Amino acid sequence: MKKIIVATTNQGKVKEIREILKDIDMEVLSMKDVLKEDIDIIEDGDTFEANAKIKAEAIRDIVHLPVLADDSGIEIDAFDKAPGVQSARFLGKDTSYDIKNQYILDHIQKDMPRSARYVCSIALALPNQPTVVFTETMEGEIADQAQGEYGFGYDPIFYFPPLKKTTAQMTPEQKNLYSHRGKALRKMEAYLKELD
């Protein structure tokens, strides 16, 4: 079976990606499965696409296998699309998402727009081939309060009007169907199937 490496240390992302890609004939491995040490990649791109590409190509050049890298985050219109590409580092890399989410809830005023979106860029870096990037979004809004036990990151405060629930209240199946990451991965999956 062919292997594909997911360039992340976020086990929540790895689990989601494995679930979405379960129909392709590839073993989905995390960086921890193939690398003995942590690799610190400097993501200095100013777009999700650029950062995903930086990560995918850096790991591909070490492992010489197909690598999938995801760069994703939340854009909040009331905050001029922040935190955006800084989503994971917002208020400090080691700050818990409970604190980050509460900060957003505390600073979004009643007269501000609550519209927001998740953005996900998936870069696929194959050995000896140009890297391809697939980008998708999930439109929603900032909830009045954190709700839900599923998911990770900003999911408890990201409200998705079509289902009338936050992404942390969605089942994994619902989230994979509607999410930015699910849509981008399905595009990538279709691309991989065409290569076979």
Which residues carry out catalysis? 71
Helices (H), 40-171: 48-63, 97-107
Kindly tell me the burial class for residue 195, based on how many C-beta atoms sit within 10 Å of its own C-beta (0-12, 13-18, 19 or more): exposed
How many Å apart are CA 9 and CA 3, to the nearest integer? 17
Residue recorded with tokens 């999700």: 48
SS3 106: helix
Quote the CA–CA distance of 113 and 97 in Å, as a whole number.
22
Of the CA atoms within 13 Å of residue 55, those in its CB half-sphere come to 26
For residues 24 and 107, give the distance between their C-alpha atoms in angstroms, rounded to a whole number: 43
What is the rounded radius of gyration, in angstroms, for the C-alpha atoms of the chain?
Answer: 17
| 3-class DSSP assignment, residue 144 | coil
2 three-class SS: strand
